[in-house]
């Protein structure tokens, strides 16, 4: 006999769904379970689209990508126990990237507390180290107040933006709460606070810039909403510019001030680095004077965590980077930059690009399998840069950072989190409905969330997954050969037929072993999404990250070349 136990539109579960509607939430990414079914059902009844996944980790990855591409809080919902613990990697990834994600979880009824109930584990304690906020809400008439607080923590209104965890016992979800006890100010939409810099700090920054001869601007996550202000500033004052993984596409690579090919030279020679919304982590050599040999720093971010790590700024400005840069732009008036140095950096950049363009890309490696670089050569023939590029993996990520020429871009990020590609691509397809989504992934990283091809099919996602199938974890293989006596073990994979897997799940799949058939296969796959192109690639062509020793994990720096510079610096 069919019953309906979820008809109370004033239940806590119903209020949570109404809260999400008020916050203009279009999508919830999740995996259903009994502990969250009351919320799940009310979301369905109110018209919130639920993207149901095959693994909870993928739901959080999707919420992160959705947030990254929209600037909104990404919402994920999972059931208790393994449902929550499966999200830990995804939440940690969002935490290290400072991306606002709200994870709504289920937990056991209050009446069963400390009795050994089904799927009971201390979710809050597990997630607390990798969230801005992690709480169990137990009082019915305070549920929405606490949810509002969690949302504000995610936005960064209590510090840095980042993921939050919020759970309600299932019996509390069914409790009814009168309208008058749910205050309007808890329900209405909230925005991130606007942080305005002090005039004193702006004057200090201007003074530092005027005393600089060799300036360099580097951006990160915190600058994503400041592209126009940064573009005007670098164009007016002819300042060299570098992006990082989490700000790629903010300034077009065609802009003459974007000197991405001269990264090492610019970092080594700059006497001033204006760092916008970016930590000085391993990707920027921790700001070490061994690498940034002459540089002082100006640090500007809407997050205090991106102002003080490793190197201090003169000044450090807690502000929306766009607001601060616009004020500096308007008041700087003149500079004393060394135009010869700037032109030298730009020419060096152009020469390196020309050298790369002039270099013929071999179709195959020594093993007669397809060169990974050849994938990107063929993509350039069939699509311009107006697409969303997702890069996922270890070895292939190194090729993709150079070869994937998309206007919009996202990759494994600071955490080096493999398996994000397919979930990121599915989320991107919900944001960019009229654009192609191309995800380039390794065979190893593909395996983490391969079953989300099923999710892509269910949602008719306009995504094309290109797998560089080189039969192994290639960076680690190289490390074993080079540094561990050529003892290569437990780093090999079979050249499995991932195209056949895609077909079995209802997607378009094609396997490519002949380089002459690659371009046609890519073209057909882009026109028959969701699709998987399984490219059998060479393991003999080493990526730049493999060559630079990323797999070895040197003592001081992430890369061998920086580690050598650090050792030499310490000797002096």
Could you report the per-residue pLDDT of 385-409, keeping only the tens digit for each?
999 999 999 899 989 988 898 989 9
Write out pLDDT tens, residues 23-42: 999 999 999 999 999 999 99
Query: What's the CA gap between 244 and 229, in Å, rounded?
Result: 18
How many angstroms from the chain centroid is the CA of residue 88? 16
Question: Any idea which fold 199-354 has?
Answer: Rossmann fold (3.40.50)
Domain definitions of the chain by residue range: 12-187, 199-354, 360-547
**Over pLDDT 90: what percentage of the chain?**
87
Look at residues 66, 5, 17 and name the one whose alpha carbon lies nearest to residue 437: 66
Cβ atoms within 10 Å, residue 183: 12
**Over pLDDT 70: what percentage of the chain?**
100
pLDDT of residue 484: 93
Mean pLDDT over residues 76-88, rounded? 97
pLDDT of residue 547 exceeding 90: no
Whether 268 and 275 have beta carbons less than 8 Å apart is answered as no
How many angstroms from the chain centroid is the CA of residue 247? 10
How many angstroms from the chain centroid is the CA of residue 337? 34
Write out pLDDT tens, residues 276-318: 999 999 999 999 999 999 999 999 999 998 999 999 999 999 9
Q: Which residue has the tokens 């989490």?
A: 246
Look at residues 355, 272, 276, 278 and name the one whose alpha carbon lies nearest to residue 321: 276
According to the per-residue pLDDT averaged within each range, which of 108-112, 339-343, 474-478 is highest? 339-343
Query: What's the CA gap between 75 and 71, in Å, rounded?
Result: 12
pLDDT of residue 551 exceeding 80: no
Give one DSSP letter per residue of 191-225, joined into a string.
-PPP-PPPHHHHHHHHHHHHT-SSEEEEE-GGGTT
Cα dihedral angle (62, 68, 71, 77), rounded to 10 degrees? 20
Cis peptide before 530 (omega within 30 of 0): yes
Q: Residue 572: which pLDDT band, with cuts at 50, 70 and 90?
A: confident
Q: What is the DSSP letter of 485?
A: T
C-beta pairs of 515-524 under 8 Å, 24+ apart in sequence = 515/363, 515/364, 515/370, 515/371, 515/374, 518/370, 518/374, 518/375, 518/378, 519/378, 519/381, 519/382, 522/375, 522/378, 522/379, 522/382, 522/464, 522/466, 523/382
Phi and psi at residue 84, to the nearest 5°: -75, -45
Query: What's the CA gap between 468 and 399, in Å, rounded?
Result: 10
Within 8 A by CB and 6+ apart from 312, the residues are 297, 299
pLDDT of residue 183: 96
pLDDT of residue 550 exceeding 80: no
Burial of 507 (C-beta count, 10 Å sphere; 0-12/13-18/19+): buried
pLDDT of residue 543: 83
Give one DSSP letter per residue of 370-414, joined into a string.
BPHHHHHHHHHHH--S-SEEEEESSHHHHHHHHH---SEEEESTT
pLDDT of residue 156: 94
Query: What's the CA gap between 297 and 37, in Å, rounded?
Result: 51
Whole-model pTM above 0.75?
yes
Mean pLDDT over residues 186-208, rounded? 94
pLDDT of residue 496: 96
Mean pLDDT over residues 520-532, rounded? 98
Phi and psi at residue 325, to the nearest 5°: -65, -35
Query: What's the CA gap between 161 and 558, in Å, rounded?
Result: 26
- Same CATH topology for 199-354 and 360-547: the answer is yes
288: tokens are: 């070490």
Q: Residue 360: which pLDDT band, with cuts at 50, 70 and 90?
A: confident
Collapsed DSSP state (helix, strand, coil) of residue 558: coil
Give one DSSP letter per residue of 83-142, joined into a string.
HHHTTHHHHHHHHHTT--EEEEEEE--GGGTTS--TT---HHHHHGGG-SEEEE---GGG
pLDDT of residue 549 exceeding 80: no
Write out pLDDT tens, residues 405-429: 898 999 998 899 999 999 999 999 9
pLDDT of residue 548 exceeding 80: no
Q: Residue 96: which pLDDT band, with cuts at 50, 70 and 90?
A: very high
Write out the catalytic residue numbers.
476
Whether 17 and 9 have beta carbons less than 8 Å apart is answered as no
pLDDT of residue 435: 95
pLDDT of residue 112: 87
pLDDT of residue 309: 95
pLDDT of residue 447 exceeding 90: yes
pLDDT of residue 451: 98
Query: What's the CA gap between 55 and 58, in Å, rounded?
Result: 6
pLDDT of residue 113: 83
pLDDT of residue 495: 94
pLDDT of residue 94: 97
Query: What's the CA gap between 239 and 234, in Å, rounded?
Result: 5
Look at residues 242, 204, 215, 228 and name the one whose alpha carbon lies nearest to residue 335: 215
Write out pLDDT tens, residues 38-62: 999 999 999 999 999 999 999 999 9
Mean pLDDT over residues 488-500, rounded? 95
Average pLDDT, the chain: 95
Q: Which residue has the higher pLDDT, 211 or 356?
A: 211
217: tokens are: 């601007």
Write out pLDDT tens, residues 434-446: 999 999 999 999 9
- Greatest Cα pair distance, the chain, in angstroms, is 82
pLDDT of residue 100: 97
Collapsed DSSP state (helix, strand, coil) of residue 11: strand
Q: Which residue has the tokens 């005007």?
A: 232
pLDDT of residue 5: 87
Question: Any idea which fold 360-547 has?
Answer: Rossmann fold (3.40.50)
pLDDT of residue 111 exceeding 90: no
- Terminal CA-to-CA distance of the chain, rounded, Å? 82
CATH superfamily of the domain spanning 12-187: Thiamin diphosphate (ThDP)-binding fold, Pyr/PP domains (3.40.50.970)
pLDDT of residue 465 exceeding 80: yes
């Amino acid at each position: 006999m069919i019953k309906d136990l979820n008809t109370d539109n004033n239940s806590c579960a119903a209020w949570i769904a109404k809260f999400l509607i008020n916050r203009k939430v279009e999508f919830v990414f999740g995996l259903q379970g009994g502990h969250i079914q009351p919320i799940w059902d009310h979301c369905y009844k109110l018209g919130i689209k639920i993207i149901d996944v095959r693994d909870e980790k993928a739901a959080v990855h999707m919420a992160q990508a959705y947030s990254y591409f929209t600037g909104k809080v990404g919402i994920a919902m999972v059931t208790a126990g393994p449902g929550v613990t499966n999200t830990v990697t995804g939440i940690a990834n969002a935490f290290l990237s400072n991306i606002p994600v709200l994870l709504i979880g289920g937990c056991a009824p209050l009446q069963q507390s400390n009795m050994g109930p089904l799927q009971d584990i201390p979710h809050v304690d597990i997630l607390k180290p990798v969230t801005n906020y992690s709480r169990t809400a137990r009082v019915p008439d305070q549920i929405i107040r606490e949810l509002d607080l969690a949302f504000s923590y995610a936005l960064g209104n209590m510090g840095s933006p980042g993921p939050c965890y919020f759970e309600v016992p299932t019996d509390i979800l069914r409790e009814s709460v009168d309208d008058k006890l749910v205050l309007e100010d808890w329900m209405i939409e909230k925005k991130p606070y606007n942080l305005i810099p002090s005039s004193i700090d702006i004057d200090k920054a201007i003074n530092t810039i005027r005393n600089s001869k060799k300036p360099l601007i580097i951006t990160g996550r915190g600058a994503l909403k400041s592209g126009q202000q940064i573009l005007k500033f670098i164009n007016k004052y002819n300042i060299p510019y570098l992006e990082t993984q989490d700000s790629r596409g903010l300034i077009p690579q065609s802009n003459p001030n974007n000197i991405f090919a001269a990264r090492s030279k610019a970092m080594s020679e700059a006497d001033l680095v204006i760092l916008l919304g970016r930590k000085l982590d391993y990707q920027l050599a921790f700001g070490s004077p061994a690498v940034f040999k002459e540089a002082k720093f100006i640090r500007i971010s809407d997050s205090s965590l991106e102002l003080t790590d490793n190197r201090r700024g003169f000044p450090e400005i807690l502000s929306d980077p766009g607001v601060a840069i616009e004020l500096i732009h308007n008041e700087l008036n003149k500079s004393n930059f060394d135009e010869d140095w700037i032109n030298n950096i730009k020419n060096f950049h152009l020469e390196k690009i020309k050298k790369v363009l002039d270099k013929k890309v071999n179709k195959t490696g020594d093993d007669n399998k397809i060169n990974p670089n050849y994938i990107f050569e063929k993509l350039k023939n069939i699509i311009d840069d107006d697409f969303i590029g997702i890069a996922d993996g270890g070895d292939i990520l190194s090729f993709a950072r150079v070869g994937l020429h998309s206007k919009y871009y996202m990759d494994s990020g600071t955490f080096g989190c493999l398996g994000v590609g397919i979930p990121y691509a599915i989320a991107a397809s919900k944001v960019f409905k009229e654009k192609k989504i191309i995800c380039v992934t390794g065979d190893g990283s593909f395996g983490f969330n391969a079953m989300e091809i099923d999710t892509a099919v269910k949602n008719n996602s306009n995504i094309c997954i290109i797998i560089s199938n080189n039969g192994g974890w290639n960076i680690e293989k190289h490390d074993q050969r080079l540094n561990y006596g050529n003892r290569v073990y437990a780093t090999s994979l079979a050249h499995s037929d991932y195209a056949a897997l895609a077909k079995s799940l209802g997607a378009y799949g094609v396997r490519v072993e002949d380089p002459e058939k690659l371009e046609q296969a890519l073209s057909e796959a882009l026109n028959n999404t969701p699709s998987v192109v399984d490219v059998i690639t060479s393991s003999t062509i080493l990526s730049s990250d493999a060559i630079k020793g990323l797999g070895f994990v040197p003592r001081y720096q992430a890369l061998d070349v920086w580690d050598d510079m650090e050792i030499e610096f310490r000797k002096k």
